[in-house]
Amino acid sequence: KAGVTQTPRYLIKTRGQQVTLSCSPISGHRSVSWYQQTPGQGLQFLFEYFSETQRNKGNFPGRFSGRQFSNSRSEMNVSTLELGDSALYLCASLGSNTGELFFGEGSRLTVL
Amino acid sequence: TQLLEQSPQFLSIQEGENLTVYCNSSSVFSSLQWYRQEPGEGPVLLVTVVTGGEVKKLKRLTFQFGDARKDSSLHITAAQPGDTGLYLCAGEYNQGGKLIFGQGTELSVKP
């Protein structure tokens, strides 16, 4: 069974630009969550999508948005990038029977 | 604000030593999960504890959930270099993909 796939793995942007990250969950998983990981703040919840609807939302500004498609793939977008947005962005899909989160390897974003 | 305090943040020990990592909150969780993350990878689930007072063992790792479901601990016996990594506790309040993570414990086990 293929794991959670995130693309791209690494990217560099400059302040003011926008970025889109993609996540393909494990086949059959309908819930996708996004987390931001930084050395200072640790892992922080961004949002969760289930069946194309946002089910939970963290405390991030409106520059952070996401969506989910009918095939459960999800994207997150960050607009007007700031230096502080540099982080590892992790996507996780939720095992429907176990409640276990399966994480991808992450997309490492550097904002210059 | 729901917070999980994890301690210690850093731990450097010799192979064969024992260690305990703590995870504390003022909030009650429906469940608490422990993850391990290695460099360049996402966190991987080690265990989920659900019932207050529950103890689970995974080889040399022992996980405990507090009676009031507000705290948890991870104890590693006879640590090995392969145990090196970032250990994360995460609390779940409602079912779904939203977890509140502790800051993590960076463990280094030297041979």
Query: pLDDT tens-digit profile of B12-69?
Result: 999 999 999 999 998 888 889 999 999 889 999 999 999 999 999 999 999 999 999 9
pLDDT digits (tens, 9 = 90+) for A45-75: 999 999 999 998 999 999 999 999 999 999 9
* Interchain contact B39–A (C-beta under 8 A): no
pLDDT class for A5, splitting at 50, 70, 90?
A: very high
Mean pLDDT along residues A92-110 = 89
Mean pLDDT of chain A: 94
Gap between the Cα atoms of B76 and A8, Å rounded: 35
Question: Among A5-19, A30-44, B86-100, where is mean pLDDT lowest?
Answer: B86-100
Q: Do you find a cis peptide bond into A8, omega within 30 degrees of 0? A: yes
- The confidence score (pLDDT) of residue B3 equals 82
Q: Is residue B12 classed exposed, middle or buried when 0-12, 13-18 and 19+ CB atoms within 10 A define those classes?
A: exposed
CB A33 to CB B98 under 8 A?
yes
pLDDT class for B96, splitting at 50, 70, 90?
A: low
* Interchain contact B33–A (C-beta under 8 A): yes
**Whether residue A15 has pLDDT greater than 60:** yes
Count the alpha carbons within 13 Å of A39 in the hemisphere toward its beta carbon. Answer: 3
Question: Among A24-33, B52-61, B89-98, where is mean pLDDT lowest?
Answer: B89-98
CB A90 to CB B43 under 8 A?
yes
pLDDT class for A95, splitting at 50, 70, 90?
A: confident
- The confidence score (pLDDT) of residue A100 equals 84
**Whether residue B1 has pLDDT greater than 70:** no
**Whether residue A112 has pLDDT greater than 90:** yes
Of A48, A58, A105, which is closest to B42 when you measure between CB atoms? A105
pLDDT class for B95, splitting at 50, 70, 90?
A: low
CB B97 to CB A44 under 8 A?
no
- The confidence score (pLDDT) of residue B68 equals 92
- The confidence score (pLDDT) of residue A74 equals 98
Asked if residue B87 lies in contact with residue B79, where contact means CB atoms within 8 angstroms, the answer is no
**Whether residue B2 has pLDDT greater than 80:** no
Gap between the Cα atoms of A90 and B60, Å rounded: 28
